[in-house]
Amino acid sequence: MISSKKMRALEINSEALGVPTLLLMENAGRNIRDEIIKRFNPEGLKVKVFVGHGGKGGDGLVAARHLAGDGAEVEVFLFGENKHKDAALNLNAIEEMDYSVKITEVKDISQLSPVQTDVLIDAMLGTGFSGKPREPFATAIKVFNESKGFKVSIDVPSGVDPDTGGAPGEYVNPDLIVTFHDLKPGLQRFSEKTVVKKIGIPKEAEIYVGPGDVVINIRKRDYRAKKGDNGRILIIGGSHTFSGAPTLSALAALRTGADLVYVASPEETARIIAGFSPDLISIKLKGRNISKENLEELRPWVDRADVVVIGPGMGMEPETVEASRVIVDYLKSLNKPAVIDADALKANAGRELYPNVVITPHAGEFKIFFGETVKESIRERVKQVIDAAKRCKCTVLLKGYVDVVSNGSEFRLNKTGNPALAIGGTGDTLTGIVATFMAQRIDPYTSAYMGVFVNSLAGSIAYQKLGEHLVATDIVDHIPEVLNNPVEAFKNKVYKRIIKD
């Protein structure tokens, strides 16, 4: 099954991969025509098409065009202006078919009354609909149901919620539903009347993370939002040697949209981090390195945070390794959403984690944590990561020339990176991005695959401008460009990697 939200993502991803939505609409409308002529001789067939707004209306116009071409007598009822770009193109075509298609513009519901015909096509309210139908559609649906003829609904019956099956107002009661790509959850109660037809969405639109995944998941800030509503993130990291890694994670989190980012580091390191940016809140922990004695200082900050990042730049001093394990135990006791990365990942090697965690190993860290070498074959690597996620009971984001993400049952791939992303610090920016999505109440698995897409695409935009001379802060600078317009940003992807294994 597929939700309406995911279906929208696939359509956007398809377009980004070179399969335009206009072609998907053409295939959808043609499938409607095919299902009708399986049941009726089209020559002289009387067909009435009720056309609403959006893509579903466009599907109905395509079906009308094909049926008229087959010899049917077609009348199209238009309910208002359709601003969907593909539907508008198909309406232009129908308007030019003034010999074979009759068009009736419904400007007032008083024009509507039940009709007697051979076939009625419901192309009114589609997968973007929820709630009670408003006029003119409430009356149009009632008239549609009262009309005599074989009734066909495109994708979902108008008035029915595609995800829940709920229908609080008027809804079409069809004889046949032709839905696309996969069954919508709301159609389960209509399963005996429903056929599922493919419309040309490539498999890669589901496998590879694309701009559609970002479009459907990024929420706009509410005008009434207050500080903290869009995420409080605590980053535990840094050591007397490393101060850059936790800073990069924090800056990336802020650019992704977190409201507040706290960085907890040993006191000398924390002072250095505070000097990077006035936007960062620096927490000064006692000692030269993070140790288990710092847990009491960290507890109130951990409790306050929506998501905790642990690992960037922590180092592998014996006292820090012990602290990493103790802190992760505390996070687990709270079921706190967390991203475990870098040195904390190594310190917790082989341990069972929990579903609210994302880990982000590169090949070397994967070997340390799971005790096995990453496979060369991408297909074998997918199986390996799925199995690894099952074992650690968390989401695994394996970084590489093709990134692999799995929660133990599903997987996604990302191929929007470039060679320059092999520089230091890009994994730290990734961690901050993933943590911010989690803080904005996006589930860990989705946050992980969206995060690696955004991080890589921001790097690709920088690569287009700077070549192989980019640094990790260049990724931070380009995160807003990806989030503001992921479809346009996707055009900057650098390499199309072909999986040949």
Distances in whole angstroms, Cα of residue 70 to Cα of each of 45, 258, 455: 9, 56, 50
The C-alpha atoms of residue 157 and residue 134 are separated, in whole angstroms, by 15
Write out the binding residues for AMP: 427
If we measure between CA atoms, which residue out of 181, 207, 180, 178 comes closest to residue 195? 178
- 366, amino acid identity: F
If we measure between CA atoms, which residue out of 114, 92, 97, 117 comes closest to residue 36? 117
Buried b (16+ CB within 10 A) or exposed e, 162-188: bbebebeebbbbbebbbbbbbbbebbe
If we measure between CA atoms, which residue out of 414, 458, 270, 442 comes closest to residue 339? 442
Output Rg (C-alpha) for the chain, integer angstroms. 27
Q: Are 207 and 9 in contact (CB under 8 A)?
A: no
Write out the binding residues: 122, 126-132, 155, 158, 245, 313, 362, 427-428
Write out the binding residues for K(+): 122, 158
Backbone angles phi, psi at 314, to 5 degrees: -70, -30
Neighbours of 371 (CB within 10 A): 9
Q: Are 389 and 407 in contact (CB under 8 A)?
A: yes
The C-alpha atoms of residue 446 and residue 245 are separated, in whole angstroms, by 24
Write out the binding residues for (6S)-NADPHX: 126-132, 155, 245, 313, 362, 428
Neighbours of 150 (CB within 10 A): 17
Q: Are 131 and 98 in contact (CB under 8 A)?
A: no
Backbone angles phi, psi at 175, to 5 degrees: -90, -25
Q: Are 347 and 326 in contact (CB under 8 A)?
A: no
CA-based torsion, 246, 249, 251, 254: positive or negative: negative
Question: Which two tokens mark 59?
Answer: 């599907």
The C-alpha atoms of residue 454 and residue 476 are separated, in whole angstroms, by 10
